[in-house]
Structure 1
Amino acid sequence: MCDKHAPQAADASQGGSRRRRVWELSQASHCPLVGVALPLPALRKLVERVTGGRLLHDDYDIHVGAVSECALRNPLSEALQKELERRYAADVARFRSARSTEEVGALWVQAVDAGKVPGAFWAALSHARCTPALEQQMCRDIHMVQHQAGACARADIDKVQALAAEHARLVRELARTQGRCQALLQEKSAQAERYEQQLMAARAALIAKDTDIHQLRSELARLQAEVPELETRQRLANRVAQMEEREAALRAQVAALKAARHAPPDAPAPAGDSPADMPAVPTEVPVRLVNRSVLCVGGRSGSVPVYRNVIERVGAQFAHHDGGLEDSAGQLDASLAAADLVICQTGCISHHAYWRVKDHCKRTGKRCIFVDNPSVSSLVRGLQEAAL
């Protein structure tokens, strides 16, 4: 059957349009065609299907057997023909447009340059315009392509081995890094847990403080409800105490004046800083204070009437501020602005009032006498100093 069809194939290759079959190709092209156009797994599967059994041969034996069967028309060569036609139908359709051997060769060169060899090899070999010379040239090209592919494969193997070594190194480095990250994560987790415990403790303390504040405010509200106008009563009580002290001082002063009126002219005056024991103030010394406003800041509340008496005896106007004990800071500012002379009892005054007095006098240039001892004699010395 092979001899019957061989002359027809030769004539068709010269002038007809019928494509050549596998068994009509030269035997020199069967080996590269089977080796390039059919992958080994596909070739094994095809041979097993034709033979109807599982092959125990290796890939080389299967390849050699398939190449041998391609020389004749038989079930295996026909199966190879159908498989090649099915697998490379697109390439066959592309080569069908070639009308001459030169066009077939040009399409083959383009396929080699593009790296699309298997389908183009089959389409060109089976083309009706493929001559023995072109077939031989294509086999030579396939031979060189296989050499280049082998060299590339060896280079790829070297690259793969190098990449495998690099991958192993990176895996080890990754394991070490993961270990460090795990240790760091455990440390941070423990630290976060400690912070969380501290935060919970702080929140508990804050809640306890808020509870205490709420209870104290509730207790204060209850006490204020039980004693209406408590603050007003306290201020009134303090005022009453001051008025009582002033009244007692005035009574003592009146008693001293009465006693002095009935005493002999040559009787010595008793010593002391009470209103009756107040030392005589030279009228010629504080003449500059006549009709002037003198502010006395601080001092004992019981001595205020005595201070008033001393200041008024020299013709000055007396004003007093307790230095922050009861009177407000705004009242102190108003008193400082209205005074011509300020006498500050530093021993009986709050720090805030002290600095307020000092700052006001420094800014306004107002005369200020600082007295350490809250006694009448110290006040008199301050007035004498202010008169200089």
Structure 2
Amino acid sequence: MNALLRDNAQLRRQLHTALAENEAQRAEKSRETARLGERVTELRAELAGHEAAAAKLAGQLHTLQQSLPDLRERQILARRATDAEARANALSARLAEQESAAEHWRRRYLSAQKQLALAPEQIPGLPAADDEATALTGKCILCIGTHSSATEAYRGIVEGRGGRFLQQHAEQLENPKDIAAALSSADLVICQADSISRQDCRRLHAQCRQSDTPCIFLQKPGPAGFGRIVSAAFAPGERITLR
């Protein structure tokens, strides 16, 4: 019986402890619930303030729109003015390019006029007949290597016959892709062999064979030899072979 009484007393103490812990947790939950309620009230007040501010701004926008009935038209006109200014800038840049090109051709025309005043035999590479003068129409001549003293003369020979002249330095053709890109629009390749390495010559020669582009190696630079090669390359009935 004494053992039962002791067990009963111990259980009563445990029950009182559990009840006290439960009461403490209930009080904590009540305080947390109260805090959450207060926070919800604060958030609702903030939301109401934001809604009031939004309504005020909407009213101000409406008032502004009413005071400026042509606001949309003004915005459209402003965008059109911006577009027109951009087009004007583009046209100005294009005009500058055309003026530069016109000046370039004016200088070439004056140079041609001076050359025409010379005897025909004094003009390097000048064709002797009108059929040669138009033989390069629509043709593109690619010159590999550079000699600053002869390049402009080469250009004058080609463009004077209606063709297009391109100049490439050997250093620009470091790999087959670069060579293929250079050859893509060329009808004839003239390589100034003394201004590029043997390795570059072999690489260029192989790529020309692959693309079936006529290629001539010019051993000694000079307008006279260049003009003869170009004339022979596009003479009626002639076909230049790779060599």
The higher radius of gyration belongs to: 1
TM-score (norm 1): 0.29
Higher RCO (CA 8 Å, separation ≥ 6 residues)? 2
TM-score (norm 2): 0.44
